[in-house]
């Protein structure tokens, strides 16, 4: 599934590190993230707020602002490492080969210009089209994203459109240059449920039509199930589980993923309380040693004080957990060394 | 609740038939500028000020054209004792100059100085403010400290010195002197707007589209940051006009035979007891001009603020 160096790989991120030097200390928002996106496939990136999903996306676009900085790793796209190329070259890729849509359609459009004007701008930045051609393209894009009467809508200002309509305009803008990769950062979070479904349908249809890949960032597992081919689960700046969508839903390995899936309410199920993952996300300024999830983990063991490796538990299914592929605690022999495990146990009991 | 968008039907084309009625059609559609106009006109004083401003501007252009050289031509046959007539509604001064035409010429001078000084203020302020706000970091720090220094200087004396050294009596020197000392407020306003806009989603979205810094600043940020500058500039007209009058009154501004509201006041000073009305003419004109500019500024501030929603 997520094989490395596959020639059908569009984007490959390896050991990405994006840190923020805040006044309180260094925040490792993204700490060694690796994954790849296949041609024409949708990769879902899931995780709770602050786990580094958006920072990963912005790192790919190289839109990290001070005090943030990409301090390590590679992002390979089209044979180039996006971290190393000059700003001008990156700008050429942005919006042209990699487009991005944001969470807030209400504020992501410039209130001063008409919708048609803004799509035309997106086209003319890269396409080198004349004003008239760009306008035509804008109207064509509006009709492609299912906006009725596109010629008239093109003349309207963002405040005259509903949220769903605005998100469609954003998608039209992002896709007007026929990008190879669309990064969608929580594209449906700000929309109500029926509109959400429409936008997801639209994105699916446009993915087929334009044969592009999508990196879909969300905390909504329902959206992932609907859209994604592959899934990356992030926790506190690290990838904790990675596989194809069916494996993640049917045989989740990492306790965090299992917790996430267990906390989805199910239709027709009688229950007074929803399942929750106990505790809170660790303070990014003061991360625990070893496994970052151990304090909330129902299967925490002494060995969890040692950072677990990101290892394959089944072909194409990676998990950052000490549990055996079957989900059992590892025998001591599997630990890096008995001394380490004993130290870990001592540290845990001292706490 | 009106259904805003049809549910997608599997296999159906993405675009809905154009015949379907949309809820947006039911709401009267107004553009930003229509809303601005509506809000401005609801501000009664601002509407009056606008009319007054238009009257002042039109007469400052029209009457000097009609009067020709009447604004400086002395006459031996006319004097302060002449009754007011149709050709000289405000009579003649001590040199036999037609006061009305001189007043209109003075108004023209004051308005010219006001507008051009404000143009410099707005241009300089927007440029410096947008650089400081967009680039940030040490550039922002340096520019804002310069602003602090300029602000800490007593502006009027600075203008006075500048004019005294560069040549008093020259309109351009006066315009530059006022412009070069007055840009700080505009710069601060633009910088503040830029700091806010830099974090805004649509600027982020423009970056994600691959827009260059220049395009982002000029196309996406300045138009949104301009409203406070327009307001400050309108208010700045009043300031500049008063500064010019003060300069001329002190003898550093325009000198006769050039006419300005300030030097007419100076001249009237000598005849305060015999011809008390002479001080009222330029005085009241100046007050009207300043009031018109101030209320216009107030009205624009309310009208351009998109957060204010006046229900019609």
Compute the distance between CA of residue A90 and CA of residue A97 in angstroms, rounded to an integer. 10
DSSP helix, strand, coil percent of chain B (3-state; round to 5): 70, 0, 30
Which of B4, B5, B204 lies at the smallest CB-CB distance from A63? B204
- pLDDT exceeds cutoff 60 at B132: yes
pLDDT in tens, A277-315: 888 888 888 888 888 888 888 888 888 888 888 888 888
> CA of B143, closest CA in chain A: separation in Å?
20
DSSP secondary-structure letter at A159?
G
CB proximity B102 to A under 8 Å:
no
pLDDT per position as a tens digit, B216-272:
888 888 888 888 888 888 888 888 888 888 888 888 877 777 888 888 888 888 888
Of B91, B106, B110, which Cα lies nearest the Cα of B278?
Answer: B91
Taking CA–CA distances from B16, the nearest residue in chain A reads: A148
| A126 close contact with B: CB closer than 8 A | yes
- The pLDDT, as a whole number, for residue B146 is 92
At A217, is the pLDDT very low, low, confident or very high (cuts 50, 70, 90)? very high
B96: which residues sit within 8 A by CB, 6+ positions away? B74, B75, B76, B77, B78, B79
Query: Of chain A residues 85-104, which have a CB less than 8 A from chain B?
Result: 91-96, 99-100, 102, 104
pLDDT in tens, A15-28: 999 999 888 888 88
Instruction: Tell me, yes or no, if B135 comes closer than 8 A to chain A by beta carbon.
Output: no
> Is-contact B214 B283, C-beta < 8 A?
no
| Least confident interval from A97-111, A153-167, A227-241, B8-22 | B8-22
Q: Which CATH architecture has domain B59-263?
A: Orthogonal Bundle (1.10)
Mean pLDDT for A265-285 is 78
Residue from the list A61, A92, A109 with its beta carbon closest to the beta carbon of B208: A61
* Number of cross-chain residue pairs from A and B with Cβ atoms under 8 Å apart: 108
Q: Are A283 and A326 in contact (CB under 8 A)?
A: no
CA distance B88 to chain A (A): 50
Nearest Cα to Cα of residue B40 among B311, B307, B298, B225: B298
Q: CA-based angle B105:B107:B108, to the nearest 5?
A: 65
Q: Is residue B29 pLDDT above 60, yes or no?
A: no
Q: At what angle do helices B277-304 and B44-67 cross, to 10 degrees?
A: 130
Q: In what order do the strands lie in the sheet with A181-185?
A: A98-101, A181-185, A213-218, A42-46, A230-235, A238-244, A317-319, A311-314
Surface-to-core class of residue A233, CB atoms within 10 Å of its CB (0-12 exposed, 13-18 middle, 19+ buried): buried
Cβ distance A199 to A187 under 8 Å?
A: yes
Sorted by sequence, the CB contacts under 8 Å of residue A343 that are 6+ apart come out as A305
Query: What's the rounded Cα separation, in Å, for the pair B203 and A116?
Result: 17
Q: Is B31 on the interface with A (CB under 8 A)?
A: yes
CB contact under 8 A, A108 and B32: no
A122 touches chain B (CB under 8 A): yes
* Per-residue 3-state assignment (H helix, E strand, C coil) for B97-119: CEHHHHHHHHHHHHHHHHHHHHH
Q: pLDDT digits over B53-85, tens only? A: 899 899 888 877 887 777 777 777 777 777 777
State pLDDT tens for residues A309-336: 888 888 889 999 888 887 777 765 454 5
Place B120 in a pLDDT band, splitting at 50, 70 and 90: very high
| Structure ipTM | 0.78
With contact defined as beta carbons under 8 Å apart, do A18 and A85 qualify? no
Using CA atoms, how far residue B268 sits from A211, B67, B93, B108, B280, in Å, is: 82, 21, 9, 19, 9
Instruction: Write down the pLDDT at residue B282.
Output: 86
In terms of CA atoms, which chain A residue is nearest residue B13?
A146
Share above pLDDT 90 across residues of chain B, in percent, rounded to a whole number: 9
Cα separation of A251 and A16, whole Å?
27
| pLDDT computed for residue B79 by the predictor | 72
pLDDT for the residue numbered A230: 92
Q: Which residues contact B204 (CB under 8 A, 6 or more apart)?
A: A63, A102, A108
CA pair distance A164, A146, nearest whole angstrom: 11
Higher pLDDT, A77 or A192: A77
Write the pLDDT tens digit of every residue in A39-81: 889 999 998 888 888 899 999 999 888 788 899 889 999 888 9
Which residue does chain B place closest to A203, by CA atoms? B14
pLDDT value at residue A5:
47
Q: Which residues contact A340 (CB under 8 A, 6 or more apart)?
A: A306
CA angle, residues A72, A73, A75, in degrees to nearest 5: 130
The answer to whether B241 and B157 are in contact (CB under 8 A) is no
Q: Domain boundaries in chain B?
A: 59-263
pLDDT of residue B271: 81
């Amino acid at each position: 599934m997520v094989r490395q160096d596959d020639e059908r790989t569009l984007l490959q991120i390896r050991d990405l590190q994006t840190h923020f030097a805040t006044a309180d200390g260094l925040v490792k928002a993204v700490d060694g993230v690796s994954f790849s996106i296949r041609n024409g496939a949708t990769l879902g990136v899931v995780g709770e707020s602050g786990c580094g999903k958006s920072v990963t996306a912005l790192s790919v676009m190289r839109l990290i602002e001070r005090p943030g900085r990409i301090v390590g790793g590679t992002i390979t796209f089209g044979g180039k490492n996006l971290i190393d190329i000059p700003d001008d070259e990156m700008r050429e890729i942005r919006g042209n080969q990699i487009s991005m849509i944001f969470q807030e359609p209400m504020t992501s459009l410039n209130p001063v210009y008409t919708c048609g004007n803004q799509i035309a701008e997106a086209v003319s930045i890269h396409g080198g089209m004349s004003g008239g051609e760009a306008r035509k393209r804008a109207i064509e894009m509006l009709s492609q994203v299912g906006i009725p009467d596109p010629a008239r809508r093109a003349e309207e200002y963002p405040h005259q459109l509903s949220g769903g309509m605005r998100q469609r305009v954003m998608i039209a803008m992002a896709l007007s240059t026929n990008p190879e990769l669309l990064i969608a950062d929580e594209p449906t979070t700000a929309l109500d449920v029926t509109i959400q479904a429409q936008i997801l349908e639209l994105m699916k249809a446009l993915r087929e039509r334009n044969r592009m890949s999508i990196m879909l960032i969300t905390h909504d597992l329902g959206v992932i199930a609907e859209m994604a081919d592959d899934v990356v689960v992030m926790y506190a700046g690290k990838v904790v589980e990675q596989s194809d969508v069916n494996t993640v839903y049917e045989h989740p390995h990492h306790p965090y993923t299992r917790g996430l899936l267990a906390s989805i309410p199910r239709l027709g199920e009688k229950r007074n309380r929803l399942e929750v993952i106990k505790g809170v996300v660790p303070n990014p300024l003061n991360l625990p040693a070893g496994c970052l999830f151990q304090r909330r983990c129902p299967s925490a063991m002494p060995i969890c004080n040692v950072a677990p490796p990101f290892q394959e538990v089944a072909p194409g299914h990676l998990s950052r957990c000490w549990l055996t592929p079957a989900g059992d605690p590892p025998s001591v022999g599997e630990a890096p060394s008995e001394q380490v495990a004993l130290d870990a146990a001592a540290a845990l009991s001292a706490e | 609740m009106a259904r805003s968008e049809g549910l997608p039907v599997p296999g159906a084309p993405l675009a809905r038939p154009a015949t379907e009625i949309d809820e947006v059609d039911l709401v009267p559609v107004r553009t930003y500028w229509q809303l601005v106009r509506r809000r401005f006109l609801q501000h009664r004083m601002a509407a009056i000020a606008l009319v007054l401003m238009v009257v002042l501007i039109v007469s400052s252009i029209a009457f000097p054209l009609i009067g020709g050289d009447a604004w400086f031509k002395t006459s031996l046959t006319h004097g302060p004792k002449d009754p007011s007539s149709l050709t000289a509604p405000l009579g003649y001064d001590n040199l036999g100059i037609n006061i009305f035409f001189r007043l209109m010429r003075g108004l023209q001078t004051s308005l010219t100085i006001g507008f051009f000084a404000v143009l410099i203020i707005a241009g300089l302020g927007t440029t410096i403010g947008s650089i400081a706000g967009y680039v940030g970091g040490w550039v922002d720090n340096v520019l804002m400290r310069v602003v602090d220094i300029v602000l800490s200087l007593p502006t009027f004396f600075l203008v006075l010195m500048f004019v005294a050294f560069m040549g008093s009596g020259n309109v351009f020197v006066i315009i530059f002197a006022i412009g070069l000392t007055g840009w700080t407020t505009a710069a601060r306003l633009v910088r503040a707007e830029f700091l806010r806009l830099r974090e805004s989603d649509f600027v982020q979205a423009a970056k994600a589209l691959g827009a260059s810094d220049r395009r982002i600043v000029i196309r996406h940020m300045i138009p949104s940051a301009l409203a406070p500058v327009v307001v400050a500039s309108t208010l700045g007209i009043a300031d500049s006009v008063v500064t010019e009058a003060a300069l001329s009154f002190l003898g550093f501004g325009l000198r006769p035979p050039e006419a300005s509201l300030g030097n007419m006041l100076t001249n009237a000073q000598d005849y305060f007891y015999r011809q008390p009305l002479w001080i009222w003419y330029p005085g009241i004109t100046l007050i009207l001009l300043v009031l018109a500019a101030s209320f216009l500024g107030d009205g624009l501030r309310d009208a351009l603020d998109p957060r204010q929603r006046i229900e019609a």
